[in-house]
Structure 1
Amino acid sequence: MSDSREVHEHIPEALLRRLERVERAYGRLQRTNRLLLIGLAVLLGTAAATVVTLALRLPPAPGEVVQARSFALRDAKGRLRGVFGMATNGASQLVLQDESGHARLRLIVLGDGSPGLTLIDQKGRSRAALGLLPDETITLAFADRQGISRAALGLTARQAASLALADSDGVTRAGMGVAADGKSTVTSLNGERGSGGSGGVGSLRV
């Protein structure tokens, strides 16, 4: 105790009063912090209750599946730009159109399950088509500006590959193929045929 009195005797009176004011201010700060914590807890509780109430009042979430026979896609000017729906023959198809209303792309699945993709020019002619038949034969065909098929690349269910080339009248002028066993053939318009073993290529006359 004597040591404590000696220490206080050496502390200036002004400094002691300042320390007392700091201690009183610190006590008020602690009480204020407790009040703030209580108020924050009440506020959070009220906010949580409000969120729960709003969640209960919100309408139910929309269904994940929208069902219809067809859908129409329109641009900002109201022009029809696409149609997705069922055709009268039982095929499902997606048709996308340009700004003039011309169909430019058609994706279709026929009633027998055969899928196909067609690219269409501005005049409505099919210029390229990719199709897969039920027997797993797949064909890629190209047409000219008149809509005449000029080239066709195919792969049969027996794994035979073929390429056919036609003139502007649609008459096949040349063709080549590779069978599943690796034998290749090349055929010209006049019926001459060259054949070879695996990897061989015959003569081609156009």
Structure 2
Amino acid sequence: MSTEQRLSRLERSVRTWRLVGIGLAAFLVTAVLMAAAGSRGDVRARSFILEDANGKTRAMLGMSKSGLGLALYDKNGKNRALLALAGAGPMLTLADENGEHRAMLAITEDGPALGLSDENGKHRVALFVTEDGPALGLLDEKENSRAGLVVLKDGPTLGLFDENGKITWKGQFSI
């Protein structure tokens, strides 16, 4: 497999991770709307809302069109953690105190994926394991791939990209 094919596969994985993030955002909106529609002490077949002593939602377990999810909220009402089962498989997201998603772990159609984002919610690190092997992508503040490493049966390949996604350096190594 050529270096270009390896790097193309890594970029496809990054795009898949972005779609996972969009799906998660849609699920979160549904979960928040379901939580807001409930009243104190609700226990229903489709959702369970846990409130603190002040009546603030702190946890919500519910169903949506896309699947099942458990959302955990901090004392300020910000969603800080979500465990969801939808689409290709389970997904866990962790958010900072501002509600920005900073870490996502998911099982995708291609295999497990881990994504890390900066304080602005921009994807910066993507790690995947596919049937062909593991891949690591490092992205800039504009979410453009700047470095990629894939390890396949015939050896590892490292690629570096400029701000336009053009390969500036590539190397394949034998183990």
Residue in 1 aligned with 2:52? 75
Return the match for 1:147 from 88, 110, 121.
121
1:101 aligns with 2:77: yes
| Alignment equivalent of 1:128, drawn from 84, 100, 103 | 103
Contact persistence 2:90–2:107 (CA under 8 A): yes
TM-score by length of 1: 0.58
Give the structure 2 partner of residue 167 of structure 1.
140
Per-residue deviation, residues 59-97 of structure 1 (Å, max 9, x unmatched)? xxxxxxx9721101112222210100101x231000000
Alpha carbons of structure 1 residues 134 and 169: separation in structure 2 relative to 1, 3 Å: closer
SS in 1 for 2:173: strand
SS in 2 for 1:145: coil
TM-score (norm 2): 0.68
| Structure 1 residue identity aligned to 2:144 | V
CA 1:168–1:113: 2 relative to 1, 3 Å: closer
Alignment length (residue pairs): 128
| Aligned AA (1:83) | M
Conservation of the 8 A alpha-carbon contact between 2:88 and 2:107: no
Q: Which blocks of at least 5 consecutive residues in structure 1 are unaligned?
A: 1-65, 199-206
Which residue is equivalent to 1:7? Answer: none
Q: Is 2:76 the partner of 1:85?
A: no
- The higher radius of gyration belongs to 1
Give 1:124 deviation, angstroms. 2.5
Secondary structure at the aligned position of 1:197 is classed as coil
CA pair 107-167 structure 1, distance change in 2 beyond 3 A: same
| Structure with higher RCO (Cα < 8 A, 6+ apart) | 2
What one-letter code is carried by the residue in structure 1 that aligns with 2:63?
M
Tell me whether 146-155 or 122-131 shows the greater mean CA deviation: 122-131
Code of the residue aligned with 1:117 in structure 2: it is L
Query: Which ranges of 4 or more aligned residues in structure 1 deviate by more than 3 Å?
Result: none
176, 185, 195: which is aligned to 2:149?
176
User: What is the CA–CA distance in structure 2 between the aligned matches of 1:80 and 1:143, rounded to whole Å?
Assistant: 26
Give the drift of 1:114: 1.4
Structure with the higher fraction of residues in helix conformation = 1
What secondary structure, in the 3-state scheme, does the structure 1 residue paired with 2:174 have?
A: strand
Deviation at 1:182, TM superposition (A): 4.9
What's the offset of the Cα at 1:121? 2.1
Distance 1:68 1:119, change over 3 A: same
